[in-house]
Structures are given as C-alpha cells and as structure tokens.
C-alpha cells in the first residue's frame, strides 16, 4: 500500500511544484503570506488528488488489481486515502484560517496583491467558498462515523457513503473556481485539469452505478441451508458469469436492493455456472439473511475479485494456511479445486474457532479428508491458537509460505511474531483485508 500512496502524493506534489515554484510563482510579498498562499494551493491539490484516486478506486478497476495486490488491498488503500484526504482538507482549511494570525503577527502591508480574475470567477467565488466549506464539515462528520463503526450501523454508513461522489464534484467546483487563474496556463495546471476530468468521469459513473438497479451478473438461488450461524448458499449464474479462481470473492446483493457485501466464493469454479458461499452471521444484514433468502430468489454479483489464490508449488518451502472464523472459506475453495485436480501440496492448515462443532470447522474437516497431504489442526473448545503454532514449523533453509485469512488483529499478531522470531527473508505472509468499511 505504501508504494501506490507514495507515487500518488509525489505526482500531485510535482504538479504543484512545477507550476508554483517555476512557471507561475506567487506574487511578491512577505514570506508568511507567500507560505499561506502556496500552502492553501498545495494542500488543496493534494486533497483533490487523493479524492480523485478514491473515485477511481471506487469503480473497482480490474486493470489496477494486479498492481495493487488484489481488490481487498485496493479497498484498504481507498479507506486510508479517504482519511488522508480529510486530513489534507483540514490542513487546507487551517491555511485559509491563518489569515488573521499572520495579520496580527506581521501586519498586512506585505500581503500578496490581489490578481485580477475573470468575471465568471467573481460570480461563482462566493458559492465555491461556501459549498467547499460546508462539504469539508460534512467530510469531518463522515470520518467520525467511519471511525465509530462499532456504534453506527453499516447500513447508515453505507447510505451516507454513497453521497461521496457528490461531495467530490462540489470540491472540484470549489477547486476550479478558487485556484489562481494563472495556474491553469502551464503544464502543472494542465495535469491538474486532466486529473480532475478523470475524477469527474469516475464520480459520475459511480453516481449512475448507485442509481442503477443491476450488477453485472445475475443468478438464482438453488439451495439455502442454515448450519448454525452459517448460511450455505448456492446460486446458478447466467451464462455471462466469467468463472472464478479458487480463493476469489464477489460482491453479493439481492436483486432490487442497493446494499451489497463481499463474500468469498467457497467452491472452485467447475464450469457449471454454480457458485457457493458460506455466509457467517456477523452483522445486521447477514443475521437477517436466512429470513429473506429463499430458493428461486434472484441475486446479483459483481466480481470475481481478489488475489488470494493458491500459489505455485515450491518443493523447498513449507506451506502453512491459517484461518479463523469466516476466514475458512478461501481454504475450502482451495481444497475444492485440489479435489478436482486430484492433488494438493503438502500444507499445514490451522483453523481457529470457538467450538469444534462450528459449521466451517466441520466443512474444513470433510474437505481435508480428501487430501492426506493437507494436515488440518482445529483450535477450539479452549485450545487457543497462537503465532507459535506457525513459527514452530520453521526449518533453516526452507522458507515459510504463510497464507492468512481471519480477523485483522490476529493477522497483525502473527506478523509481529514472524518479524520478531524469524530471519526477514525466511518467510512470506499473504493476507486478505476484508475490513471494507
């Protein structure tokens, strides 16, 4: 995630620097007034740049998925870009509010001279200022709601989040009107204009998508089996479904509704247009699903996405698969694929849950019986999993290939222990990031 974030910020910093420091510098004035002017311009450009990237990522672009390491990581980047954009907007607002402080400190005699602007700018300037400021306040509220995810329901957050393209378009209007006119005449302004056009197109597409009643692929529920707090659902997709790799996921929603959720496809593709999900009751939407879902019901999918797919075999390495909770599903999919191909790499599969009677633990047990080369160990009924269960398999000269799907805290604990206990180049850790909110 660091690489795309660094490249994005560097690009928009360069857009500012080329124009502001070389082609079209600020008019002469005292240093603090110049810093204020350029600070507003830089933070505004960086904020708009990160928001543009957010709009593009919201379209779930498949071509960027390999470079970002999977759509789950694209959503993680989307989330942190959102936080960063609001922080940059705060810095932009503070730069603007510093006017009175600077005036009190050094007076207004060295203030930058006002630059003549076209008549249309004078006409729209009051609206651009007011709308931009109120949109900034709305973004602050949205950030608070996002961070308070334990107290605000997903449905309420989702409804507000769908308005983000509107907020972006307002801020584009704010930026276009209030950016100094001379800035647009050079290469920095041209590059900024191109990025804003791309972002505007992406935001418009997102708005149309939000209003649309259809996802790319439709299907029909053919079985719906409650298993404790897990609902096993099978759907027959239409002929346009492109198939999927074991370990990928798709966004599922009931036809005619707007709210969707990502779930791992828990079977490998078998060229029969049938997909299977194991949906654990973790939130309001999933808890109500058994009452609302029935055989014959129409569903819609957007996908498949994700790069949590089984790697090529490395006979010199040691494979360890670690799952917890609903994180069993990609490994179920992997085992299903290997069952079709008749071979599985030797691997240690570790699964943590509360009770050994957990439906997903039982599903893993049944699937692992087909593969004597996969050693399943279930941590339940008071027997707790710890990262030492992974570290103990380290053998000098044999790299550990670890694949983890489970709670974020558990994944961080595993990563910390690997860094502490093992040589840096002796292991690789692949994780899914399913915290899309």
| pLDDT tens series, the chain, 437 aa | 677 777 877 887 777 777 766 666 666 667 777 777 788 888 888 899 899 999 998 888 888 877 877 777 787 888 888 888 889 889 888 888 888 787 777 876 767 667 777 888 788 888 988 998 899 888 888 878 777 666 666 677 777 778 889 999 999 999 899 888 877 877 888 888 899 999 999 999 888 876 665 577 888 988 888 887 888 888 998 888 888 888 888 888 888 777 778 888 888 777 788 888 888 877 777 888 888 888 888 888 888 888 777 766 666 778 899 988 888 888 888 887 765 454 445 788 989 888 888 888 888 888 888 777 888 888 888 889 888 888 888 887 788 888 898 888 888 899 898 888 888 888 888 887 765 55
> CATH top-level class for 318-431?
alpha beta
* pLDDT value of residue 197: 95
Q: Using the Cα atoms of residue 119, residue 123, residue 126 and residue 129 in order, give the sign of their dihedral.
A: negative
Region(s) of the chain under CATH 3.40.50.80: 318-431
Whole-angstrom Cα distance, residue 370 to residue 177? 65
Which tokens hold the place of 232? 């096993």
CA distances from 433 to 88, 330, 405 (A): 25, 13, 8
**C-alpha angle 24-29-32 in degrees, rounded to nearest 5:** 100
Region(s) of the chain under CATH 2.40.30.10: 217-305
Fold of 2-211: 1.20.120
CATH number of 217-305: 2.40.30.10
* pLDDT value of residue 302: 85
Q: Across the beta sheet with 261-264, what order do the strands follow?
A: 261-264, 249-254, 298-305, 217-227, 230-237, 274-280
* pLDDT value of residue 430: 85
* pLDDT value of residue 113: 66
* pLDDT value of residue 170: 93
Q: What are phi and psi of 109, to 5 degrees?
A: -65, -30
Q: Radius of gyration (Cα) for the chain, nearest Å?
A: 26
């Amino acid at each position: 995630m660091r690489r795309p974030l660094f490249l994005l910020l560097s690009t928009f910093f360069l857009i500012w620097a080329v124009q502001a420091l070389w082609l079209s510098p600020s008019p002469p004035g005292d240093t603090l007034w110049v810093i204020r002017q350029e600070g507003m311009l830089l933070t505004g450009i960086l904020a708009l740049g990160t928001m543009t990237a957010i709009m593009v990522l919201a379209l779930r672009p498949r071509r960027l998925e390999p470079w970002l390491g999977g759509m789950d990581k694209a959503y993680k980047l989307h989330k942190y870009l959102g936080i960063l954009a609001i922080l940059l907007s705060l810095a932009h607002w503070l730069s603007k509010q510093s006017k009175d402080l600077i005036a009190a400190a050094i007076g207004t005699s060295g203030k930058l001279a006002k630059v003549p602007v076209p008549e249309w700018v004078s006409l729209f300037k009051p609206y651009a200022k007011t709308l931009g400021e109120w949109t900034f306040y709305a973004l602050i509220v949205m950030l608070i709601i996002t961070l308070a995810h334990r107290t605000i329901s997903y449905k309420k957050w989702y409804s507000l989040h769908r308005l983000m393209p509107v907020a972006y378009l307002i801020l584009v209007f704010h930026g276009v009107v209030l950016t100094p006119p001379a800035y647009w005449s050079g290469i920095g302004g041209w590059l900024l204009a191109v990025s804003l056009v791309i972002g505007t197109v992406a935001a418009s597409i997102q708005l149309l998508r939000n209003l649309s009643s259809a996802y790319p692929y439709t299907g029909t529920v053919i079985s719906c089996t409650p298993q404790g707090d897990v609902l096993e659902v099978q759907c027959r997709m239409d002929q346009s479904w492109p198939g999927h790799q074991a370990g990928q996921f798709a966004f599922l929603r009931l036809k005619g509704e707007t709210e969707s959720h990502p779930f791992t496809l828990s079977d490998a593709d078998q060229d029969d247009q049938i997909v299977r999900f194991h949906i654990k009751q973790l939130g309001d939407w999933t808890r109500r699903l058994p009452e609302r879902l029935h055989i014959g019901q129409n569903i819609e999918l957007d996908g498949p996405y994700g790069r949590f797919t089984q790697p090529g075999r490395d006979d010199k390495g040691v494979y360890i698969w670690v799952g917890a909770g609903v994180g069993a599903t990609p490994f179920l999919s992997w085992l299903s694929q290997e069952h079709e191909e008749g071979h599985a790499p030797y691997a240690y599969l570790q699964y943590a849950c509360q009770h050994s009677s957990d439906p997903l633990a039982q599903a893993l047990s049944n699937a692992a019986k087909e593969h004597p080369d996969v050693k399943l160990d279930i941590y339940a009924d008071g027997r707790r999993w710890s990262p030492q269960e992974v570290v103990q398999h380290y053998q000098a000269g044999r790299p550990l290939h670890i694949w983890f799907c489970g709670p974020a805290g558990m994944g961080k604990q595993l990563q910390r222990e690997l860094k502490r206990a093992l040589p840096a180049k002796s292991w690789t850790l692949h994780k899914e990031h399913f915290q899309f909110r």
